[in-house]
């Protein structure tokens, strides 16, 4: 390798490490090498084999190089083009992964309709395959069939796939009904700062599940004499609530879950569990009463609901490109606060009459967005548990605020690192000022200009950068888009159908 090429690779590795929040010492420990070696690598002073590059990429969850392929995927975006037409919102990524985990409760066949074919789903499917679950895509509509074995092969679990998704935590609830002892790899996913798993452990301990974390694994042991009766979650988290629901679903008795999340993916899980014969009262509230059944063996067919975060992404695409665009199948119950904020900022839009999703429960509308002159909101933008502004929709207000007149304060109190990732918008001409790891000030309006950016290792900020590139004059390159593919299906291709000009490519 030439000295210049080694220096470029070293910079890429350093940026990926810093995005993940790791020190050189932490990366060195993971790779089984010295900190001085990592320092030499990042300064471009050490030759690297393809195997070492692949190991570094795997450790940092960043496709620096992929053996057997031509390298990570990138996007080339020609910006400054208006979008037009209409686009359907796809099914919820977060609901789909929860339902895949929930299928382990069932000894019968589970059929899920129009499942999002994204990397996050692929990782869960890889884990399911490795432990003996049979899955197959049924048709071009992305209907998915899941058939569990009589006995799971947990020793054969694909550890690499499990480590690349935080959703593997939701295996704890179902597996405690099948095994007295088992282990799971530490969970991965987006780099959003320290995200403790302790609320999961506190909740599941009420059901007799004791977990010890050693040597990169959660070691679980089940005491089946424990009966929770009622539990109070220490965190009103979505996956925490889902894990408690999965534990309660096959607990032979009634469990009351207080301080539960009533968010969209939790509601979808409740609707699915109802199809399995589990009666749940209080869906959509913070108190869930679960009438568990000890055995579940039935063939079920369920359609997950649409994704409010994708809906927000598409509405944002229309706003930043000053386009008239219709976003169809928007789950309005989970978008009303966002639309109210946008209306206050001056966005002109219309919404259709409500109609039902394929699950028969979720309320949908079509939203048509028109080019508008926006002003910064008087109050700060901040998330709240449902029915407040969705935590995952907060980042989109950064790129929206950059198009508005005035200064917007965005307070992302949930995640330590996500606000930092949003400062990457400055490379495209944005004026994002970091007040602290949780707060940013965004000044607008912005004259976006094309440039090259390495995708941050956090899903929503990465999509925000892509959306800003749609508005930027000239050509931009967004490198290493694996994190976007974790949460969105064919996003670039679908935006191209609306008039965007995005080309995917790999380095040779």
Burial (CB count <10 Å: 0-12, 13-18, 19+), residue 173 = buried
Place of tokens 């020609």: 78
122/103 Cα distance (integer angstroms): 15
184/52 Cα distance (integer angstroms): 26
Percentage with pLDDT > 70 across the chain: 94
Q: What does the pLDDT read at residue 162? A: 85
* Token pair for 354: 């409500």
pLDDT at residue 49 is higher than 60: yes
Sign of the alpha-carbon dihedral angle for 205, 207, 196, 130 = positive
pLDDT at residue 67 is higher than 60: no
Q: In the CATH scheme, what is the code of domain 74-89+306-506?
A: 3.65.10.10
- Top-confidence residue, 408 or 19: 408
Rounded mean pLDDT of the chain? 89
Give the residue extent of every domain in the chain: 3-60, 74-89+306-506, 93-302
**pLDDT, tens digit, 9 for 90 and up, residues 450-489:** 999 999 888 899 999 999 999 999 999 999 998 898 889 8
Rank 201-215, 220-234, 247-261 by mean pLDDT and report only the highest. 247-261
Where helices occur in 114-224 by DSSP H, the ranges are 119-130, 159-163, 172-175, 198-205
Q: What does the pLDDT read at residue 292? A: 94
Comparing 3-60 with 93-302, is the CATH topology the same? no
* Token pair for 170: 């939701």
Query: Residue 474 region, left (φ>0) first, then alpha (ψ -120 to 50), else beta?
Result: left
Side-by-side strand order, sheet with 431-436:
406-411, 439-444, 431-436
Q: What does the pLDDT read at residue 52? A: 79
C-beta of residue 72 within 8 angstroms of C-beta of residue 66 = yes
Q: What does the pLDDT read at residue 175? A: 93
For residue 68, what pLDDT band results from cuts at 50, 70 and 90? very low
Q: What does the pLDDT read at residue 30? A: 80
**pLDDT, tens digit, 9 for 90 and up, residues 400-428:** 999 999 999 999 988 777 889 999 999 99
**pLDDT, tens digit, 9 for 90 and up, residues 174-209:** 999 999 999 988 765 434 344 457 888 888 898 989
For residue 21, what pLDDT band results from cuts at 50, 70 and 90? low
Side-by-side strand order, sheet with 144-147:
134-137, 144-147, 110-112, 300-302
Q: How far does Cα 446 stand from its chain's mean position?
A: 27
- CATH 3.65.10.10 for the 93-302 domain, yes or no: yes
For residue 131, what pLDDT band results from cuts at 50, 70 and 90? very high
308/137 Cα distance (integer angstroms): 24
- CATH 1.10.260.40 for the 3-60 domain, yes or no: yes
């Amino acid at each position: 390798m030439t000295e210049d090429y080694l220096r470029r690779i070293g910079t890429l590795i350093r940026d990926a490490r810093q995005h993940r929040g790791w020190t050189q010492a932490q990366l060195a420990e993971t790779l089984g090498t010295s900190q001085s070696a990592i320092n030499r690598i990042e300064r471009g002073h050490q030759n690297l084999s393809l195997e070492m590059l692949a190991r570094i990429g795997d450790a940092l969850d960043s496709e620096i190089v992929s053996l057997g392929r031509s390298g990570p995927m990138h996007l080339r975006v020609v910006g400054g083009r208006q979008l037009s037409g209409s686009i359907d919102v796809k099914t919820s990524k977060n609901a789909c992964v929860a339902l895949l985990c929930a299928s382990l409760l069932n000894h019968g066949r589970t059929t899920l309709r129009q499942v999002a074919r994204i990397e996050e789903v692929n990782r869960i499917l890889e884990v399911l395959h490795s432990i003996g679950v049979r899955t197959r895509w049924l048709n071009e509509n992305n209907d998915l069939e899941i058939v569990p074995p009589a006995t799971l092969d947990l020793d054969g679990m694909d550890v690499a796939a499990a480590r690349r998704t935080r959703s593997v935590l939701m295996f704890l609830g179902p597996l405690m009904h099948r095994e007295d002892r088992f282990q799971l790899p530490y969970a991965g996913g987006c780099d959003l700062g320290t995200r403790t798993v302790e609320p999961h452990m506190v909740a599941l301990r009420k059901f007799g599940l004791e977990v010890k974390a050693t040597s990169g694994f959660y070691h679980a042991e089940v005491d089946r004499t424990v009966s929770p009766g009622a539990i109070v979650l220490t965190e009103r988290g979505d996956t925490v609530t889902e894990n408690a629901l999965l534990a309660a679903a096959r607990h032979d008795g009634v469990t009351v879950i207080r301080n539960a999340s009533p968010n969209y993916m939790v509601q979808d899980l409740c609707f699915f569990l109802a199809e399995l014969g589990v009666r749940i009262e209080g869906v959509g509230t913070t108190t869930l009463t679960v009438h568990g059944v000890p055995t579940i063996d039935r063939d079920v067919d369920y359609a997950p609901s649409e994704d409010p975060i994708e809906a927000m992404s598409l509405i944002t695409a229309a706003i930043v490109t000053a386009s008239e665009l219709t976003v169809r199948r928007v789950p309005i119950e989970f978008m009303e606060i966002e639309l109210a904020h946008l209306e206050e900022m001056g966005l002109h839009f219309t919404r259709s009459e409500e109609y039902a999703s394929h699950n028969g429960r979720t309320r949908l509308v079509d939203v048509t967005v028109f080019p508008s002159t926006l002003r910064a909101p008087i109050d700060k933008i901040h998330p709240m548990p449902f029915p407040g502004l969705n935590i995952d929709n907060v980042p989109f207000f950064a790129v929206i605020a950059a198009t508005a007149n005035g200064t917007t304060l965005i307070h992302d109190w949930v995640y330590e690192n996500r606000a930092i990732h949003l400062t990457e918008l400055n490379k495209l001409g944005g004026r994002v000022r970091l007040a602290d790891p949780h707060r940013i000030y965004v000044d607008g309006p912005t004259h976006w200009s094309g440039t090259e950016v390495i995708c941050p290792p956090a899903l929503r900020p990465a999509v925000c950068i892509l959306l800003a590139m749609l508005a930027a004059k000239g050509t931009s390159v967004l490198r290493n888009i694996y994190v976007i593919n974790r949460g969105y299906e064919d996003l670039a291709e679908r935006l191209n159908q609306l008039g965007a000009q995005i080309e995917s490519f790999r380095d040779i």
